[in-house]
Chains A and B, each alone.
Chain A
C-alpha cells in the first residue's frame, strides 16, 4: 500500500512538472496570462519564506523577538545590496547563529 501511494504521488508530481511545459501550447496562453506569469517567482516563494520565518515547529506564530526574524532582516539587507545568493544565505545563517549561540546564552 505504501509503494502504491509513493508511485501515485510520483505520477501526480511528475504530471505537475510536465503538464504546462509539454502539453500546453504557448498560443493557448493570452498576452494577459503571460504578463501575469512574470510574477510567478514573486507569488510563489514568499508563501514558503513567510511561514518559515514567522511560524515555529508547532505551527504557532513566533514572538517578535525570535532570532529567525532578525536573521531574515540581515539576509534581506545583505542580499539586496550584494545581489549575491551565497552572501544572502550565509549572512542570514551567521547572524541567526550569532544570536542563538552568543546573545541568548
Chain B
C-alpha cells in the first residue's frame, strides 16, 4: 500500500514534463498582461483568482480591447467550462471524499493534472487515496503557474519569441493523448474533436473549446450504440 505522501509525490513527478510548456506559457501570460497596460497586481490576480492560462490571456486582451465585462466574463466561462467534464470524470474516483475536501481540491483541477491523474487512477483502480495524486499534480502546476506568471510580470517576455515556444502547448496535450491512439475508438473520437475544432474555430467566445468536445462526445455516444 502506498503512503499518502508517496502518492502525492508520484503526482508531482507525473506533471513535471509538462513544465516545458507550462512555465513559458506562464511567463508569456504575465508579460502580455503588462504589455496590454494592466497593473501588475491585476495581472497577478488573474493567475490567483481565475487560474487558467488561455482564459487569462483572452480575458485581458478583451478588456484592453474595449470589450465589456460581460463579454470578457462570458469568454472565460465558455473556455473554462471544459472543467465540468474533468469534474464529472474525477467524481467517480473521488466520491468518498468529504464535501469540504472536494471544495478544496476543485481549485486545483487543471488540464494536465486531470489528464495525468485520470491515466494513473485508471491503471491503479484500488488506490486508497487517489485524491493525493490529484493534489500532487494540481499543487505543482499551481506553484509553477504562479511563479512563472510573476516572473513574466517582473521580467517581461524574456524568452526569445523566435523559439516559438507557443508550439509547446499543443505538444503537451499531444503527449497526454498519444498513448490512447492505440485504441481505434479513441482515434475516432479524437479526429471528430480535432476536425470540429478546425471548423468551429471562429465561433464566438472561443466556444470551439467546449463545442468540439461536445460534438466528439456525442459521436462517442453514437459509436457506443453501434458497437453493441
- A interface residue numbers (CB < 8 A to B): 1-10, 12-14, 16-22, 24, 26, 29, 32, 34-37, 39-55, 59, 68, 71-72, 75-76, 79-80, 83-86, 88-90, 92-93, 96-97, 100
Inter-chain contact A12/B73, CB cutoff 8 Å: yes
| Main SS class of interface, B | helix
Within 8 A of A (CB), among B154-209: 162-182, 185-186, 189-198, 201-202, 208-209
Inter-chain contact A45/B50, CB cutoff 8 Å: no
**Within 8 Å CB of B102, what residues of A?**
18, 21-22
Q: Which residue of A has the minimal Cβ distance to B70?
A: A5
**Within 8 Å CB of B81, what residues of A?**
16
Q: A18-B106, A36-B217 are contacts. A46–B91 as well, Cβ < 8 Å?
A: no
Q: Can you sample 30 A-B contacts with CB below 8 Å? A: A1-B69, A3-B42, A5-B72, A8-B69, A9-B55, A9-B59, A9-B72, A12-B77, A16-B87, A18-B106, A22-B102, A24-B91, A37-B85, A39-B185, A39-B216, A43-B85, A43-B216, A45-B176, A46-B193, A46-B194, A47-B213, A47-B216, A52-B167, A54-B198, A59-B201, A79-B179, A83-B179, A85-B175, A89-B175, A93-B168
Q: A13-B50, A40-B85 are contacts. A72–B177 as well, Cβ < 8 Å?
A: no
Inter-chain contact A17/B174, CB cutoff 8 Å: no
Asked if B17 CB lies within 8 Å of chain A CBs, one says: yes
**When chains A and B are docked, how far (Å) is the Cα of A34 from the Cα of B49?**
31
**Within 8 Å CB of A47, what residues of B?**
193-194, 196-197, 208-209, 212-213, 216
Asked if B2 CB lies within 8 Å of chain A CBs, one says: no
**Within 8 Å CB of A26, what residues of B?**
91-92, 95
Inter-chain contact A89/B193, CB cutoff 8 Å: no
Q: Which residue of A has the minimal Cβ distance to B82?
A: A44
Q: Mark B46-74, 1 if CB is under 8 A from A, else 0.
A: 10011110010001000100000100110
